[in-house]
Amino acid sequence: MRFFKCLIFLVFLSCNLSAQIRLPKLISDHMVLQRDQPVTIWGWAAPKEKVTVMLKNKSYKTTTTENGKWEIRLPAQPAGSGFEMVLKGKNQIRIKNIAFGDVWLCSGQSNMVINMERVKERFADDIASANYPDIRNFFVQTLTSLSGPEKDFPNGEWRAANPKDVLTMGAVTYFFARDLYDQYKVPIGIINSSVGGTPIEAWISEGGYKDFADIQKIINKNKDTAYVNSFKRMLPNNRPKPQVNDLGQIEHWENTTYEPKGWRNFNIPGYWEDQGIKDLNGVVWFRREFDIPENWIGKTVKLYMGRIVDADEMYVNGKKIGNTTYQYPPRRYEIPADLLKKGKNTFVIRVLNQMGKGGFVADKPYFMTAGDQEIDLKGTWQYKVGEVFQPQKKGNFGGSLLVHQNQPTALYNAMVAPVLPMKLKGFIWYQGESNVDNPAPYKKLMPALINDWRGLWKNPDAPFLVVQLPNFQDVNYTTSESNMALIREAQNQALTLKNTAVTVTLDLGEWNDIHPLNKKDIGKRLALSARNLAYKEKNVVCSGPALKSQTLEKDKIILTFDHVAKGITSKDSEPLRWFSIADYDKKFVWATARIIGKDQIALSSELVKTPKYVRYGWQDNPEGINFYNSEGLPASPFRTDAEISDDSKPWKGKKCAVVLTYDDALNVHLDNVVPALDSLSLKGSFYLTASSDAARNRIKDWRAVAANGHELGNHTLYHPCDASGPGMSWVKPEYDLSKYSLARIQDEIKMCNAYLKSIDGKTKRTFAFTCGHKKVAEGEFIQTLSDEFVAARAVRHEMHALDEQNLMDIDCYGMSGETGEKMIELVKQAQQSGKLLVFLFHGVGGEHALNVSNQAHSQLLHYLKENEKDIYVDTMLNVAEHIGDLKK
């Protein structure tokens, strides 16, 4: 009986506990709720339980649903703080010190994470004066979910800004919030949901990927528990503790009793690959003796060892005083008061590096200090290699790891979805570094994220503020391509959406640190954008100069800008830097830039007689930019040579498509056509017959053609044609296609593919029927080779719309003796009808009976270039893939 009584009691207790009102972590003491609009309070309890919320002497009631969820909508409240809320059900919860103000969701990667503690030396006064009880921060811990959106966080709390708690607040977000609070005296709530080293893909919801079929496949695959768990099984279980192979650890090189032998000199700061150690991944030890002033003895000494790549352990007189496990944090250690001694003191650093250059980052602080005295730690140390890591083979432990936080939707599900019931003032996004290696998709992902979040919060006009990536990496004083510039350009795509702003930080980075310390100016510039966008102060200037238009005037380009305030300025009164110009060949050279009016700049260079394109700040690190407006805001990097297209629309959003094809691998193609195309940055498809003289004798030239983006297509080994028809007597009997067997044509085509692969290394290719003939003895052959090719080009003077295209039988217009005007007329017909026009050229300037003049060919190319905004010009392969993608 006693057993049954206990059992009944436990059941009663468990039922009673399950009936308790439970609140999400966001609904807690010190929370900030959005002012001036109805807000939702939500939580969980027993099914059909009555719940009451009391606020400001008013009661609001509801009943939970069948699944135990409840929510109550409170009427809009004005700004204020210090309120209490009482919730009653089977239990009672009291929430204290509630504020009504403006709530911002701030997300991204590490530069959004970095807190005030990380920048405390630079902003010591700001930390000491951080007495802002109405600025409150909720930091979301790193969480992932591949299965779907979560309803709550496992933990988390609201903290107000004071000299202690501000150290845990994101630096960018604190300075942003402080500027807004100082301006409006309205409580500011920051929900910081960010994870270092993560791509934008992880932050978009599944619904945000409706136009991304490939990513949808990944999301569905990741929902398969067996698939996800298979990666765990790849890791070895119960591995024995790894054997210590570091000679420094075995011999205890950190000890004061150790007598160094065979150590060599090393200058700190610096990387060991630059100082005589080649391609070493492993462990290197460094040591040096310092004389310590007598008045330091018995004092706590602060030691600053810059930044070290990757991990380090710091020893003083044989005692470990600290360690850091990865490269980004500043090395700030304290030497205990009883550790230093009079005279010589031994400092030893064990540095471990897994990949790339290991060592000590330049332009960082290397010193130790006590009171107002400092000892410089830079200079000559000694080093010795403790261990060399053996190169790891890919696929170790049976395959790659599945890094959950990098998977599509993983961070949205766990770190953003639980915020959905909260009303927000707007969003701040600071991310992009993890997408730099592959910047192209960012152009679509950035607007996808914005539209996704606005849709989820059912607020299509919600302000969305984006921090553009700052300058970083080595300074390159030559014009160059830049993935970081492409990411910045993609971030600017946000400006095509309403109620968005991009904060330019091209002057706030550090060449040697992906985490620049000047978070204060980033926060201030974000606050300017918020004031203009979210608080409707349209007189507040929040953008630097933005390109409005360009005018070509013979040997110079005139640029006109918006957002110049009182006018364009050079911040340092020097000539404007980092402008480059180019002709159609896109070979950019540095330009002379002159301010010629309030909103205009003139660009020119003796090296470019007829400039067509401009780039500004198109570098990883255009250090020392000086192009600003009168309000002290810098211009964003930009270019005018970008191909603007929309892959989701026929012909990428342009009126028509044109493909330029050249048959038979002629010398004139290499000598006349390729230079003409390259001078205008146009691409063509060259169909090579492997047996022709130019194909066999100029392989190096064809390799260069392919490397420059042109297509090498398959035109068979020997150019067989059907000799049975009228006018075909010139075909040699051994190359009479009508006498070919199916096996023979298949073999010759595959052999030509192998030949072409040896030149360009590619496997995807298109085919061109020789003489337009399609049959061998057994019938048509191309369908038997459809797996070998993306498309095949016939010879029939017709144009077709995208949805009419048969990829294995694309029509083309063969040119022979046509004038430039006649060919341009064909292009205009394509523009009017919205169709694909394929040109077929043999001789261009000679070498073939079917020939057009260089002048006529040039006229056509220049018309295509001058109308590239309306005409999609590309290779047959790229156009065919575009057709295939849209017809799926």
Long-range contact pairs involving 770-774 (C-beta distance under 8 Å, separation at least 24) = 770/689, 770/715, 770/716, 770/719, 770/720, 770/721, 770/737, 771/721, 771/722, 771/728, 771/737, 771/795, 772/796, 773/721, 773/722, 773/737
Band of pLDDT at residue 779, cut at 50, 70 and 90: confident
Average pLDDT over residues 101-124: 97
Residue 709 DSSP label? T
Band of pLDDT at residue 526, cut at 50, 70 and 90: very high
Cα separation, 662 vs 689, in Å, equals 11
Is residue 121 scored above 70 in pLDDT?
Answer: yes
State pTM to two decimals. Answer: 0.84
Average pLDDT over residues 533-557: 95
- Give the pLDDT score at 273: 93
Cα 114 to Cα 450, 488, 620: the distances in Å are 23, 21, 22
Using the structure block, give the residue that is written with the tokens 């003032």.
Answer: 425
Band of pLDDT at residue 661, cut at 50, 70 and 90: very high
> Model confidence over 161-173: pLDDT tens digits?
999 999 999 999 9
Band of pLDDT at residue 9, cut at 50, 70 and 90: very low
Average pLDDT over residues 32-61: 97
Q: Provide the mean pLDDT of the chain.
A: 93
Query: Helix, strand or coil for residue 3?
Result: helix
Alpha helix ranges (H) inside 740-853: 742-760, 820-833
Is residue 683 scored above 80 in pLDDT?
Answer: yes
Band of pLDDT at residue 503, cut at 50, 70 and 90: very high
8 A C-beta contact, residue 290 and residue 375: yes
% of the chain residues with pLDDT over 90: 87
- Give the pLDDT score at 7: 44
- Give the pLDDT score at 15: 41
- Give the pLDDT score at 8: 41
Average pLDDT over residues 682-691: 95
> Model confidence over 266-281: pLDDT tens digits?
999 999 999 989 889 9
Average pLDDT over residues 432-460: 96
- Give the pLDDT score at 5: 46
**HSE of 838 in the Cβ direction (CA atoms, 13 Å)?**
31
- Give the pLDDT score at 524: 98
Is residue 4 scored above 50 in pLDDT?
Answer: no
Q: Among 125, 71, 58, 64, which residue's Cα sits nearest to residue 90?
A: 64
Band of pLDDT at residue 728, cut at 50, 70 and 90: confident
Tokens at 604, concatenated: 């020119």
Band of pLDDT at residue 394, cut at 50, 70 and 90: very low
The CB density around residue 220, as the number of other CB atoms within 10 Å, is 11
Is residue 237 scored above 60 in pLDDT?
Answer: no
Average pLDDT over residues 490-506: 95
- Give the pLDDT score at 14: 42
- Give the pLDDT score at 643: 78
Which comes out higher in pLDDT, residue 560 or 1? 560
- Give the pLDDT score at 430: 98
Least confident range from 123-127, 479-483, 513-517, 778-782: namely 778-782
- Give the pLDDT score at 392: 60
> Model confidence over 845-887: pLDDT tens digits?
999 999 999 999 999 999 999 999 999 999 999 999 999 999 8
Using the structure block, give the residue that is written with the tokens 């790549």.
Answer: 309
Using the structure block, give the residue that is written with the tokens 């350009």.
Answer: 489
Peptide bond just before 133 cis, omega within 30 deg: no
> Model confidence over 600-623: pLDDT tens digits?
999 999 999 999 999 999 999 999
Average pLDDT over residues 474-479: 95
Q: 817: exposed, middle or buried (C-beta count within 10 Å: 0-12, 13-18, 19+)?
A: exposed
Query: Which residues is 353 bridged to in the sheet?
Result: 282
- Give the pLDDT score at 388: 95
Band of pLDDT at residue 774, cut at 50, 70 and 90: confident
Contacts of 298 (CB under 8 A, 6+ apart): 337, 338
First vs last C-alpha separation in the chain:
70
